[in-house]
Amino acid sequence: MKKLIFFLILSIISVNQLIAQSTEDLVTKIRRQYNEVSSMESNRQSISCQNGSSFTYRNMGGQNMKFPQSSKKCSYPGGYAIITSKFKDWEFEASAKFYFLNGQLFFVFANVSNVASGYEYRTYYNNGNVIRVLQKGGLYGEESNVNQDITYNSDGNWVKRFNTERLRQSSSMLK
């Protein structure tokens, strides 16, 4: 019986290590893809670009305020595409870059700030699923320059929803 329990525990540990290793391998692959398309972007090797914009409206103290939103999609050799978007609202700003390979989202880099804090988020995707979310930043004056893995907590869930909503918003601006 003790051997069976020991074997089960050892099997669970092995499977967890295999999953962790495969995630690391995927993140390494995604970083290579990111570097490849970022180099093309820096060298202005886009095949085509499309721009779009809109406004978000807020009623603030009886006065209608409008806040600009913009999005740009550029295609690159090898099936890569980047959507770069900027969002503004009352006491809120965000920018996001969505990276695609052959129409499949593989990475999102976002900066989000409000009057009290600023954060940088890196989200890694594999086959449409989030495999890692990293966060850097914090309350102004208490920022951290260390990436924290927030994949499986409430902050990570917020980032996943943010990415989904902002990608949808970006896509609608580009139509």
| Cβ contact 159:121 at 8 Å | yes
Lowest mean pLDDT among 25-34, 55-64, 71-80, 121-130: 55-64
Beta bridge partners of 32: none
Whole-number pLDDT of residue 151: 96
Q: What is the pLDDT of residues 114-159, one digit of tens each?
A: 988 999 999 999 999 999 999 999 888 788 889 999 999 999 999 9
d(CA 138, CA 164): 22
Q: What angle do CA 34, 38, 40 make, to 5 degrees?
A: 125
In SS3 terms, 162-174 reads as: HHHHHHHHHHHHC
Burial class (CB in 10 A: 0-12, 13-18, 19+), 46: middle
pLDDT band, residue 175 (cuts 50/70/90): confident
CA 86 to chain centre: 13
Total structural domains within the chain? 1
Q: Where are the alpha helices (DSSP H) in the chain?
A: 2-42, 154-173
Question: Domain limits at 27?
Answer: 2-173
Whole-number pLDDT of residue 60: 83
DSSP state of 47: S
Task: Give the three-state DSSP class for 22.
Answer: helix
| Cβ contact 87:94 at 8 Å | yes
Residue with tokens 């099997």: 11
